[in-house]
Amino acid sequence: MAGVNTMEKKLAEYKCDTNEAICLKLVRFPEDVEDDSTTFHPEYSHQLFGDDEVAFGYKGLQIQLFYTAGNLGTVFKVKYASKVTEMFDCVESDDVEGKIREIIPAGFTCNSDDFISLLEKEANFKPFGTLLHTYTVHSEEAGELTYQIHKADITCPGFQEYHERLQTFLMWFIETASFIDADDDRWDFFLVFEKYNKDGETLYATVGYMTVYNYYVYPDKTRPRVSQMLILPPFQGEGHGAQLLEAVHRFYCSLPKVQDITAEDPSENYVKLRDYVLVKLCQGLPSFATDKLHLGFSPDMVKEAQDKLKINKKHARRVYEILRLRATDMSDEEKVREYRLEVKKRLFGPYRKNQRELAKMKKCLRPEELVSHMGQMDTQTQHEELEKSYQVVVEDYRRIIERLASQA
């Protein structure tokens, strides 16, 4: 038994956390390759390495996926200090290389010199598609940096291959990511690039992107639905997500055929970002003027948000609640109470639905079944959950209001 335990301990030394082992880089200069400060790591690797996010069979495992900053030319290497097969017979190591090859498209190199050659060709890389928006961000280290947002589609020469390289990042940073069928011409692609200088030339680095699918709405409209959005980790926290979402929103607002703009299974972070962008866009509309907010959520707000900004009723309601919170005097208890009731009225919707379902159940369930369902819908619990939901919502709204104030 002691021998088995000893063996287990020795084998455990050959387990590696794949989120730490995978090393990603966006390389601009040859010296970046050896500079550890330019390396970043995945948030997720479960889609390739299982829920434990572990690779077995290696000590000191390092999976290198380095990309040229603009065109995303790729070098892929697997390094390790030792392998379990060198020490133990009849023990198989995980096929790490095979798993990575499942997601990276053909055309990568495994040779450092070839990668440096790809890097030298970066000066030829230019952003795909049509320029939609240019903006600047101030950096303490580099001063004013310029960024561009472009709209592309699959017909742009070279874009399909570029997109196949770009979408590999989804696997590492979006928990439920999947690759799209980019051949479908109803996809729109929006790309963010940073302009930078290298040896007196202007080059472009990939910052992030968004994919949008255009659904048909009877009889003659479309509904663009955001499918994927990712700002690459070295650029996160600098406001690029908001710039991208606002530029995309303004683009679709300019198209008469667009009904409204939605998102597919949005994450919490995406919802917060969308709230911020939509409030920014709506705060200047007459129906959302401060003197109108205390009168409640109105049909005028719904119509103006829909007609001018392609915002649906559900999203317009959240915009109204954020702007009303900003306009509410928090030292006035009555106004605070009115606001709280207004928000809770919306939040109570799901509970009201439960009550309707319970009424239907009473007609068809046996007494013992009904008791179990009624236990799930206890009134006291509903009130507690409602208050909890309200506090979370208001806290999120306050952060958006603070961000708006900081940008003013």
What are the DSSP E strand ranges found in 179-278?
Answer: 187-198, 201-217, 221-231, 262-263
Query: Distance between CA 259 and CA 254 in Å, rounded?
Result: 11
Query: Distance between CA 365 and CA 376 in Å, rounded?
Result: 15
Kindly give the interhelix angle for 240-253 and 299-309, rounded to the nearest 10 degrees.
Answer: 90
Burial group, residue 258, by CB count within 10 angstroms (0-12, 13-18, 19+): middle
Helix (H, G, I), strand (E, B) or coil at 337: helix
Contact 208, 231 (CB under 8 A): yes
Catalytic residue among 92, 97, 102, 264: 264
The residue behind tokens 């707000």 is: 301
Q: What are phi and psi of 153, to 5 degrees?
A: -140, 175
- Indicate if 86 belongs to the active site: no
Q: How far apart are the first and last CA of the chain?
A: 69
Residue 195 is classified by DSSP as E
Amino acid 338 reads: E
The residue behind tokens 């001063």 is: 143
Contact 91, 85 (CB under 8 A): yes
For residue 219, whether the previous peptide bond is cis, meaning omega lies within 30 degrees of 0, is yes
**Residues across the chain:** 408
Task: Show which residues are catalytic.
Answer: 264
